[in-house]
Amino acid sequence: MADTAVEQAPAPRKSGWLPLLAGLLLAVGLGGGGFFAAYSGLILGHPPQVEEAATASPLPDIAFVPVEPIMIPLGPAGQNQHLRIVSEIEVAKPHAAEVTLLLPRIRDVMNSYLRAVEVADLQDPAALVRFRAQILRRVQTVTGEGRVRDLLITEFMLN
């Protein structure tokens, strides 16, 4: 047999850049379009928010009973350190007269508790919150349940 060699022409190289570039542009376009649709609320948007009429709720029926300032000497007598505390008691208005009547007993409870406090305890950043909770519990015990709502410490000074 004769060698009949069919000369085959080398196959032209296909360019792989065109589909890759088209895919990249398509992905960026779809990603940007999807981001815009989600960001603007076109898809999975938030339900329309209905603005409620701005009506001010009535204030609760409360009164504030001021407690006279209390000054407590701290530590040994030679150190000359003092704690000054000024507070007000938040009560329901119908109980304001009863709590005012019990103020001497409330001051006694506050004095007794604050005299037991160490100077090191006062230097803790969370001390005021702890003291307020302790004093409030004692005041509620003295006045009876339901009369005192809160204790507001308006001045707490260590000298």
Q: How far apart are CA 71 and CA 80, in angstroms?
A: 12
Contact, 63 vs 96, CB < 8 A? Answer: yes
How far is residue 35's CA from residue 44's CA, in Å, rounded to a whole number?
12
Q: What is the mean pLDDT of residues 145-154?
A: 92
- Angle (nearest 5°) at CA 95 between 94 and 97: 100
Report the alpha-carbon angle 18-23-28, nearest 5.
130
pLDDT of residue 55 exceeding 60, the answer is: yes
The pLDDT of residue 12 is: 65
Angle at 27 between CA 25 and CA 29, to 5 degrees: 65
Closest listed residue to residue 136, CA positions, set 102, 105, 110, 97: 110
pTM for the structure as a whole = 0.61
What three-state secondary structure class fits 66? strand
Rounded to the nearest angstrom, the gap between the alpha carbon of residue 29 and the centroid of all alpha carbons in its chain is: 42
11 pLDDT band, cuts 50/70/90, is low
9 or 95: which leads in pLDDT? 95
The whole-angstrom separation of Cα 55 and Cα 21 is 59
Instruction: Provide the CATH topology of domain 62-158.
Output: Tetrahydropterin Synthase; Chain A (3.30.479)
Q: Per-residue pLDDT tens for 70-102?
A: 998 887 765 778 889 999 999 999 999 999 999
Question: pLDDT class for 29, splitting at 50, 70, 90?
Answer: very high
Give pLDDT tens digits for 113-126. Answer: 988 888 888 888 88
Q: Is the pLDDT of residue 4 over 90?
A: no
- In what order do the strands lie in the sheet containing 62-74? 62-74, 81-92, 148-158
Average pLDDT for residues 53-62, to the nearest whole number? Answer: 77
Q: pLDDT at position 41, please?
A: 79
**Strand partners of residue 90:** 64, 150
